[in-house]
Chains A and B, each alone.
Chain A
Amino acid sequence: MVGATRSDRLTTAGGPSAARRLGGVANAVALRLAVLAGFLVVWQLVTTASGSIFFPTPVEIVERLWQTVFGGQGTPILDHLVPSVARLLGGWTIGSLAGIAVGLAVGASGRLRDYLDPLIHFGRAIPPPALLPLFLVLLGLGDVMKVAMIAFGIVWPVLLNTIDGVQSVDSQYLDTGRVYGATRADRLLRIMLPAAAPKIFAGLRISLSIAVILMVISEMVAATNGVGFLLIQSQRTFRMLDMWAWILLLGILGYVLNTALLAVERRVLRWHQGARRGADT
């Protein structure tokens, strides 16, 4: 970054490199589609050939899912999808907000960090599913238990990433804040928070995956509705096709949520991608 060019030209994209990049993007998309298609074809062939009841063909699975969602067969899918998503998002939001808030405070204060460090490390080390019996004991079988467990399970990646992000805030940003009269609250919310945002979002993405897992497990063990419940029920009633349809549903749900989060991240962190790209030139 040293030695800026003489003419203060703005760094603009354009010319032959842009065209090359566009061609590259088109290639990547085509490759993705090709891989997807190839994978499906192979899967279809293998399952048709084996004829095992445990592994229905992709075509059958998609058909089954379609039927349940649009064909009005069996219980309406929304009766299960809505509670699942509600628990998931409820727990994830609560846990994320708590993780960010505590992470900001702990990251900014060396002393607080010293006091809480061992507790945080221990909390992080507990495998989230091991919390299930604990929460069953504390809160019973209802939705509160599930939301609480999800929140408690996902707070750790968010917390740790937030602390990491705040700790790695460039000291010159903070000095600038001090020079120009920023209060402590200002430094926390207007400097540390935006500066730590990329790492915070990384933590949020990780915690979203964990939230899905905890939602599924809690619904498998202690629920009468939800995607997890559908999964375990199909196992008990030996309905293989249904089970695969729910697996597919879960995959779609995970994909949609992840894509949504990525879209939000891309918008909020527009400046970061630009800055990183600039640093590479």
Chain B
Amino acid sequence: MPASWKVRTGQVVAQAPSSPRGARLRRGLTGAAVLFAVLEVLTRADLVDPRYLPPASKILATTGSILVDPEFLPEVLGTLRAWAVGMVLAVLVAVPIGILLGSSQKVYVASRALVELLRPVPSVALIPLAILLFGRGTDMKVALVVYASVWPILINTIYGMHDVDPVAKDTARGFGLGRLAVVARVSLPSAAPFVYTGIRVAAAIGLIVVVSTELLAGGSEGIGTWMLARSASGGERELVYAGTIVAGLIGLGLNALFVLGDRRWFGWHQRARGDE
């Protein structure tokens, strides 16, 4: 599975200072508007076959309508439910094990070796196996999400525990804290941002895994299943596009939530890191 889906979009501008917020907002909207206009013209003028690419306005309208469609929303919830359950299980499994494993130097090195071994197998390759083991229902989706999500969380937890500043630990021990207390009051808070990053990465992977399994296995409620059915039916292509946009919006939403959480809970870590 991928080592890390997280891409740092550093806003450190080394050259000219970035434009004021108003200008940035205006330009961003302009960019989006231009794309919209271009697509609209291409399709309305029949330069592109409207059966394959419906006009942008129609797509946007469809997106709006399915978001309130009582037939579509359960699908979205189906996806999110499987994703959420899988994530929670993954965290419950991976974090405690990661804390344990991360406390020992030897285990840290050994675990890295193990990870290198297992990483090349993408979780999607196990979808057929999961279908045979769990059938095509939500259980299968959850199982795959757990499998795919456990690794990034585990790795990041181990790494976070390993990365704790030894001086901080020694200071705590110097004040008379026992081993367990040191772990609880020094190592865990120090490792927390890394664990959080691991969960964030796993969340993105988990979403991808859920949608992939829905596309391939069908059967249960989910965005992937819904989209696959619409694409196969041959009519109303704008529904497929609308589905993709909704998937993107979900992705954006999740990302925004994680960024918010990062800033709120781990603002100290970002500031301590400073400019990398």
Contact = CB atoms under 8 A, between A and B. Distances in A.
Question: CB atoms of A and B under 8 A apart anywhere in the complex?
Answer: yes
Interface of A: 28, 31-32, 34-36, 39, 54, 110-111, 114-119, 121-134, 136-138, 156-157, 160-161, 163-164, 167-171, 174, 203, 205-206, 209-210, 212-213, 216-217, 220-221, 231-232, 234-235, 238, 240, 243-244, 246-247, 250-255, 258
Contact of B31 (A115, A170, A220): A115
B244 A126 contact: yes
By DSSP majority rule, is chain B's interface helix, strand, loop, or mixed? Answer: helix
Contact of A114 (B28, B129, B204): B28
13 contacts: A28-B109, A54-B133, A110-B13, A130-B211, A133-B243, A133-B244, A157-B7, A164-B9, A167-B13, A213-B122, A217-B212, A238-B132, A243-B128
A217 B122 CA distance: 10
A118 B28 contact: yes
Contact of A32 (B5, B24, B113, B207): B113
Contacts of B110: 31, 34-35
Given A110-B16, A254-B120, A254-B122, 8 more contacts: A39-B114, A122-B252, A133-B243, A134-B231, A213-B124, A232-B128, A250-B120, A250-B125
B205 to A, nearest CB: 9
B188 interface: no
A216 B125 contact: yes
A209 B2 CA distance: 5
Contacts of B215: 129, 132-133, 217, 221
A170 B275 CA distance: 12
A209 B122 contact: yes
Nearest to B52: A138
Nearest to B106: A31
Interface string B21-59: 001100111111011000000000000000011000000
Contacts of B11: 167
Interface string B241-259: 1011001110110010000
By DSSP majority rule, is chain A's interface helix, strand, loop, or mixed? Answer: helix
Contacts of A132: 215, 228
B108 to A, nearest CB: 11
A171 B13 CA distance: 9
A126 B31 contact: no
B182 interface: no
Contact of B53 (A36, A138, A209): A138
Contact of A210 (B2, B27, B128, B211): B2
A133 B240 contact: yes
A235 B216 CA distance: 12
B14 A213 contact: no
Interface in B94-116: 106, 109-110, 113-114, 116
Contacts of B133: 54
Tell me which of A128, A174, A217 has the highest count of chain B C-beta atoms within 10 A of its own C-beta. Answer: A217
A167 B122 contact: no
A264 to B, nearest CB: 17
Given A133-B215, A136-B231, A163-B9, A118 B248 contact: no
A254 B212 contact: no
Interface string B219-245: 000011001101100000100110110
Interface in B181-202: none
Contacts of A203: 7
B66 interface: no
Contact of A168 (B12, B131, B224): B12
Given A36-B113, A110-B16, A137-B237, A221 B216 contact: yes
Contacts of B32: 118-119
B121 A251 contact: yes
Nearest to A234: B128
Contacts of A232: 128, 216
